[in-house]
Amino acid sequence: MKNTITLVDGEASVDLNDPWELVLNQECSGQYCVEPSAIWLSRPASDRGAAVLIEQEQELHDIQPYLQDIRLVALMFKDFKDGRAYSLAYLLRTRFGYKGELRAVGDVLRDQLSLMRQCGFTSFAIKEGKDPYDALKGIKGLSVTYSSSVSSPSPLFRRVRRY
């Protein structure tokens, strides 16, 4: 995927040579295919790649048993105004213990990146036509967050001493 921002140890950088490719309808070849989870699940175990794509309306039960073997889960934002993938990210990280790369794909824009990061995303395929270097500025977000989140599992009142 072109124009990808990756977080490594909390540091964000633009990766112009990201190898992963979204493969929606055609046959997958090579080891860097990200294909819809339904197609992925329909393959015999030996034919499955290392990455799946999950749509915002999907349930996670089917894929759950395989999460430990998956290197990359891509969550699709069909429209940046549809926030379902934030909850899916939370569930993958907090409830299902997914430790691999979690990538936002689709309508992925600068002004939502910090929210995605806080919900457990670790890489961001910036929408085509948008400058990934500009988008980089959206990773940090505000320095104060009140609520708990995947990236800071305690709410502010337990994280710091407030007077």
Residues forming contacts to another protein in the complex (CB under 8 A) are 80-84, 86-88, 90, 94-95, 109, 111-112, 114-116, 118-119, 134, 142-149, 153-158, 160, 162-163
Q: Which is nearer to another protein, 83 or 100 (CB)?
A: 83
Q: How far is the CB of 63 from another protein (least distance, A)?
A: 16
Nearer to another protein, 33 or 139 (CB): 139
Max distance between CA atoms of the chain, in angstroms, equals 59
Which of 35, 33, 80, 78 lies closest to 57, judged by CA?
Answer: 78
Q: 101: which DSSP letter? A: E
Shortest Å distance, C-beta 66 to another protein: 20
CB of 130 to another protein, least distance (A): 9
- Shorter beta-carbon distance to another protein: residue 24 or 146: 146
For residue 138, count other CB atoms closer than 10 A to its CB. 21
Between 34 and 119, CB nearer to another protein? 119
CA distance 55 to 37: 9
Q: What is the 3-state secondary structure (H, E, C) of 12-56?
A: EEEECCCCCEECCCCCCCCCCEEEEHHHHHHCCHHHCCCEEEECC
Nearest distance from residue 96's CB to another protein, in Å?
A: 11
